[in-house]
Structure 1
Amino acid sequence: MNAHELLYPKPTPAYLCQIRSLGSQTVEEEGYHWDGLSREGGGFIFQYTLAGEGMLTLDNQTLPVRQNQAFLVHVPGNHSYSYDKRTGEPWSFLWIRIDYEQSQPYYEHLLGLTGHVFPIHAEAEPIRKLKQLCQEMNRKKDKYELALQAYEWMLSFTRWASGDERPSPQWPEPYERVAARIELHYYQPLSLDDLAAEAGLSRHHFCKAFRKLTGLTPMQYLRNKRIEQAAYLLSSTDKSIADIAVQTGFDTTSYFGKVFRSVVGRTPTEYREDRMQALSGRLRVLP
């Protein structure tokens, strides 16, 4: 068994989110087992299978948790999860355990959206953010920075679970192709003609159908993706605003600032300053 785990034993005020633990692990031998009724503390656990297979038992029902599947459980709770060597392959996974005073209603809300075991793609935002947290876990952080990162991960998971990160699987295939192109190439100069051609439709029909499906025009959808990525770069890097504008597909810094403010309600500079204040201890919820 090999593991990379970070625990946060220092007490955190109840009103702040707390990442109790997070990490990555590969289990190859029998003996990996956790019982939800015998664990200390509270909160909820999200665990994602990278490869292999584990088992989650809930009220005498055992469910496999396979590659690109996750499970969600609350602590304490009537569940257990374990590794069965008879599956023939090591079980590799990521996990995060989060606790705060409102974790129970938040968990119940999520459970209503996902169930205990559910598929989630490796490139989905919550998985990307969890991988990033695991990569950064040896960097020293104070309780406010950890709380902010916990909130951000929870928001990304809520957005994904609510179906807001990517189009629903029930979307017609042409619009799935358009959304995938925007997801991968938002920084490029995509035009309405480019997106309509990707869908194989006329501009008029494409715009009308896309808006009916999403409530947004294709260009608004593209704009929101660019602003989402810009907000991430503003809060997680020291890149200049001019560089971020170029990196997220805007022609000029002034136009980027205008669009960002219209969507977020702050200029890029104000947004970055707010995030820095949150990291320095003056934590408040940001959109």
Structure 2
Amino acid sequence: MIKSYGFRFPDSYPELMLIETIGHETITDAAYDWEGRTRQTTGYLFQYTLAGSGWLEVEGQLFEVKKNQAFVVEIPGPHRYYYDPRAGEPWEVIWVRLRGGQMASIWDSLHKRGPVLQLNADAEPIAAWRRLFHDTIKGKLNDPYVQSVRIYEWLLTILRLSRQGHEASRRPDGLPPYGASIAYMREKYGRTINLEELAAVEHLSKSHYCKAFHRALGLSPFDYLNRVRVEEAAELLGGSDLTVTQIAAATGFDTTSYFGKVFKRYVGMTPLQYREGQHDWNVDRLKLV
């Protein structure tokens, strides 16, 4: 069974992101030892551990790369990754090595959050890698432009998770993490909501809920709630005759002045400026992301 593939296109596509190699390997031999400074090839490597463990050395720092961990390195570069048979079990990995002029800034962003990344086995970057590998086998990535789009989509799944700083898996019901408390916020945004009741909706302690929510979504529960309130306030500003004070009260803000500060922070203008149309957004609904 073929477990790895390489791509070589007859023409040069320096503006595209392309696959050099992609594959799945079980390593049992100490001969698996790659010194990044002496390699003759160039590119960017993502390697993920399915089972066992290996070692990554980067600029004098040593990392054990365990199950559900990936590393990212640029080739050539000041790194070494290798397998130590004393681990007692094989190192099973999947990988993709990429090239292209657009890769440098993306890889730099990834490496700043690495070089070792924690990714659950059912996390979207791993699912997306499997789709890349499957479509490589089926011959669906032979067009360099199609391949480049797919690589970019895959890279964005990693950037999204690493930027949010969480290790969340996809929920089987397709809902976002902490969907119950999010739904609660969207239903009850017009009144005072405290952390205790949000945590209770998720059946967690207040402390655990706050930390877990931030890890999963990249912002605090109150930041999320304020975004919901500002979205609703923007709709009322554009589609009702309520005063700014009435809208502040209707969307759960304690005072008009606090409402104004929060609205300006998220939208970039005061509620009154938004109502007067001091923007060029021809939209029916404002979404804060």
- Normalized against structure 1, the TM-score is what? 0.60
Residue 33 of structure 1 contacts residue 81 of structure 1 at CA under 8 Å; is this kept in 2?
yes
Residue 49 of structure 2 contacts residue 69 of structure 2 at CA under 8 Å; is this kept in 1?
yes
Q: Using the alignment, how far apart are the partners of 2:286 and 2:155 within structure 1?
A: 21
Q: Write the mapping of 1:69-108 to structure 2, written as runs, cut at 5 A.
A: 69-108=69-108
Q: Write the mapping of 1:1-287 to structure 2, written as runs, cut at 5 A.
A: 4-10=3-9, 11-112=11-112, 114-140=113-139, 141-163=142-164, 168=166, 183-186=171-174, 192=183, 198-200=201-203, 210-213=221-224, 216-217=227-228
Residue 37 of structure 1 contacts residue 78 of structure 1 at CA under 8 Å; is this kept in 2?
yes
The CA deviation at 1:152 is 0.9
Structure 1 gaps of 5+ residues are: 170-178, 221-260, 265-287
Q: 1:96 to 1:214 in 2, by over 3 A?
A: farther
Q: Using the alignment, how far apart are the partners of 1:131 and 1:75 within structure 2?
A: 23
Q: 1:109 to 1:186 in 2, by over 3 A?
A: closer
Q: Using the alignment, how far apart are the partners of 2:14 and 2:203 within structure 1?
A: 53
Residue 16 of structure 2 contacts residue 102 of structure 2 at CA under 8 Å; is this kept in 1?
no
Deviations 1:10-65 (CA, angstroms, capped at 9, x unpaired): 24410111111111111122211222123334221111101000111223433211
Q: 1:125 to 1:35 in 2, by over 3 A?
A: same
The CA deviation at 1:118 is 2.6
Question: Aligned-residue CA RMSD in angstroms?
Answer: 3.5
The CA deviation at 1:215 is 5.8
The CA deviation at 1:214 is 6.9
Q: Using the alignment, how far apart are the partners of 1:121 and 1:75 within structure 2?
A: 25
Q: 1:168 to 1:94 in 2, by over 3 A?
A: closer
SS state at 1:9 partner: coil
SS state at 1:63 partner: strand
Q: 1:263 to 1:148 in 2, by over 3 A?
A: farther
Q: Using the alignment, how far apart are the partners of 2:2 and 2:114 within structure 1?
A: 27
Residue 3 of structure 1 contacts residue 26 of structure 1 at CA under 8 Å; is this kept in 2?
no
Deviations 1:81-136 (CA, angstroms, capped at 9, x unpaired): 11111100100011111211132222222212x22123221122111111221222
Residue 68 of structure 2 contacts residue 118 of structure 2 at CA under 8 Å; is this kept in 1?
yes
Q: Using the alignment, how far apart are the partners of 1:262 and 1:194 within structure 2?
A: 18
1:199 alignment partner AA: E
Please identify, of 12-21 and 37-46, the stretch whose mean Cα deviation from structure 2 is larger.
37-46
Residue 18 of structure 1 contacts residue 147 of structure 1 at CA under 8 Å; is this kept in 2?
yes
**Matched-pair identity in %:** 29
Figure out how many residues of one structure are paired with residues of the other and give that number: 202
Q: 1:145 to 1:75 in 2, by over 3 A?
A: same
Q: Using the alignment, how far apart are the partners of 1:18 and 1:39 within structure 2?
A: 19
1:4 alignment partner AA: K
Q: Using the alignment, how far apart are the partners of 2:146 and 2:66 within structure 1?
A: 32
Runs of 4+ in 1 over 4 A off after TM superposition: 193-198, 213-218, 261-264
Residue 185 of structure 2 contacts residue 225 of structure 2 at CA under 8 Å; is this kept in 1?
no
